[in-house]
Chains A and B, each alone.
Chain A
Amino acid sequence: MTIALKTLLYRLADDEVIIGHRNTEWTGHGPILEEDIAFSSMAQDELGHAQIYYSLLHDLGEANPDQLAFLREAQAFQCAQFVELPRGDWAFSVARQFFYDAAESVRLAALSKSAYAPLAQAARKFAGEEKYHWLHAKTWITHLAQGTGESRARLEAGLKQAYPYALGLFETTAADAAIVSENLCAPEAELQTAWQALITPVLAEAGLALPAATPVYGGRAGQHTEHLTPLLNDMQLVFRMEPEAGW
């Protein structure tokens, strides 16, 4: 059970810590105060969830959560490339968050039934919090689509740029057969279908359609964009200066 379980936990934790870090980049830079707060709060949730996924890994014999987040190199991360992309303009960040929150919503529902009880408990907890992220994302898709010509154009560009990478959230590797057979999580293909069913009506209501796209894979196998290393340099800088320091 352990290898499949660890792989699954690394994916979950690494997605959360990286998108959480990206969202902190809006702290003090949001277009309006409410959104500055919203992205900062979502980042806080995501980093909190990452910490708990890393703790579950620590319980399975991996390094402690701080070491996992702050001492690994880019190629050891198993996050999708989607979460590494720079924050872009705010419409891109909204588009990314929309795809991501929908994916989390279906993934957490599946993980709530995981055969690994500590993961199922955490997922049930996180699902309640993620409702607010999904509500936020849906609201802003509608606002930006129905706002000005510029807000709509920027949103469309953001969705178009983010979508192929968002499909990469459902990438599989050799570990997936065991993840499914050990009832740790539902198959990625099944999650992707549920995800499409969640995002399509929201986009349709806003008069938006997604172009056909080829998924961008690689992240789950440790292949990353050129954006991950600079992000890690920022995120890990302070910890690496004095890894043994007490906080």
Chain B
Amino acid sequence: MKASAQITPSQILEQLEQVKDPEIPVVSIVELGLIADVQVDERSARVKITPTFAGCPAVEVMRAETEQRLRALGIEEVKVEITFDPPWDSNRISPEGRRKLKEFGLAPPKPYTGAVDLIQIAFVECPYCGSADTTMESAFGPTLCRAIHYCHACQQSFEQFKPV
């Protein structure tokens, strides 16, 4: 086991690429932008997670796995905290994360400036055929972070990872 003195924040982020969102197991918590802060010193590491939705039931699973992965690096003292500072927003999802969401069949949220408005929520490209001829069926889907849409071009329902 190597000494934790040698561990850098970027090694920690690399390790946390292994931690997936249990509700969307193709993307990591790093790609989703959930890591708000990483601090390391000789024997300890402190990581802050900013959850997508405050009521997300997967937060505790991801927190526990993050802790476990950091211990696996040989770090003696590991602290993983949940924070709302900064609050998570969908602009934090990395380009790679967006690509994986789309491959998974979830339309990625469009990056935005300012505040999310209704147009961003309702108009989204179909992840299957790319058509913009879609309508939102419901702002609520199988998990808190997804909305249900319908594509008129390929006549399929699909889900969007909600812009927040």
The one of B89, B118, B140 that contacts A42, using a Cβ cutoff of 8 Å: B140
Give the shortest distance, in Å, between A37 (CB) and chain B (any CB).
5
Complex contact B54–A45 (CB within 8 A):
yes
In the complex, whether B121 has a CB less than 8 A from a CB of chain A is: yes
Complex contact B164–A41 (CB within 8 A):
no
Q: Which residues of B contact A42 (CB under 8 A)?
A: 140
In the complex, whether B154 has a CB less than 8 A from a CB of chain A is: no
In the complex, whether B162 has a CB less than 8 A from a CB of chain A is: yes
Interface of B is mostly: loop
Complex contact B148–A41 (CB within 8 A):
no
Complex contact A48–B87 (CB within 8 A):
no
CA distance A74 to B84 in the complex (A): 31
Q: Mark A93-128, 1 if CB is under 8 A from B, else 0.
A: 000000000000000000000000000011011101
Q: Mark B132-150, 1 if CB is under 8 A from A, else 0.
A: 0000011111101001100
Complex contact B164–A128 (CB within 8 A):
yes
Give the shortest distance, in Å, between A3 (CB) and chain B (any CB).
24
The one of A124, A128, A136 that contacts B116, using a Cβ cutoff of 8 Å: A128
Give the shortest distance, in Å, between B160 (CB) and chain A (any CB).
12
In the complex, whether A203 has a CB less than 8 A from a CB of chain B is: no
Name the residue among B138, B144, B147 with the largest chain A CB count within 10 angstroms: B138
A122-B138 in contact given A45-B144, A128-B164 (Cβ < 8 Å) = no
Complex contact A129–B53 (CB within 8 A):
yes
In the complex, whether A49 has a CB less than 8 A from a CB of chain B is: yes
Which residues between 44 and 80 of chain A lie within 8 Å of chain B, taking CB atoms? Answer: 44-49, 51-52
Give the shortest distance, in Å, between B123 (CB) and chain A (any CB).
13
Complex contact B140–A132 (CB within 8 A):
yes
Q: Which residues of B contact A41 (CB under 8 A)?
A: 140-141, 144
B54 to chain A: closest residue by CB: A48
Complex contact A124–B144 (CB within 8 A):
no
The one of B56, B137, B141, B162 that contacts A48, using a Cβ cutoff of 8 Å: B56
Give the shortest distance, in Å, between B84 (CB) and chain A (any CB).
4
Q: Which residues of B contact A44 (CB under 8 A)?
A: 55, 57, 144
CA distance A44 to B146 in the complex (A): 13
CA distance A107 to B86 in the complex (A): 20
Q: Mark A145-174, 1 if CB is under 8 A from B, else 0.
A: 000000000000000000000000000000
In the complex, whether A242 has a CB less than 8 A from a CB of chain B is: no
Give the shortest distance, in Å, between A107 (CB) and chain B (any CB).
15
CA distance A72 to B87 in the complex (A): 31
Give the shortest distance, in Å, between A166 (CB) and chain B (any CB).
22
Complex contact A129–B164 (CB within 8 A):
yes
Complex contact B139–A136 (CB within 8 A):
yes
Give the shortest distance, in Å, between A142 (CB) and chain B (any CB).
13
CA distance A222 to B118 in the complex (A): 38
A121-B85 in contact given A34-B138, A45-B53, A49-B54 (Cβ < 8 Å) = yes
Name the residue among B87, B137, B142 with the largest chain A CB count within 10 angstroms: B87
Complex contact B140–A125 (CB within 8 A):
no
CA distance A204 to B116 in the complex (A): 25
Give the shortest distance, in Å, between B36 (CB) and chain A (any CB).
11
The one of A47, A126, A132 that contacts B139, using a Cβ cutoff of 8 Å: A132
Residues of B that sit less than 8 Å from A by CB: 53-57, 83-85, 87-89, 116, 118, 121, 137-142, 144, 147-148, 162, 164
Given A122-B84, A128-B116, 13 more pairs with CB closer than 8 A: A44-B55, A44-B57, A45-B144, A47-B55, A52-B54, A52-B84, A121-B84, A128-B89, A131-B116, A132-B121, A132-B139, A132-B140, A135-B139
Residues of A that sit less than 8 Å from B by CB: 34, 37-38, 40-42, 44-49, 51-52, 121-122, 124-126, 128-129, 131-132, 135-136
The 10 tightest CB contacts between A and B, nearest first, are A48-B55, A41-B140, A38-B140, A125-B84, A125-B87, A34-B138, A121-B84, A128-B164, A132-B139, A48-B54
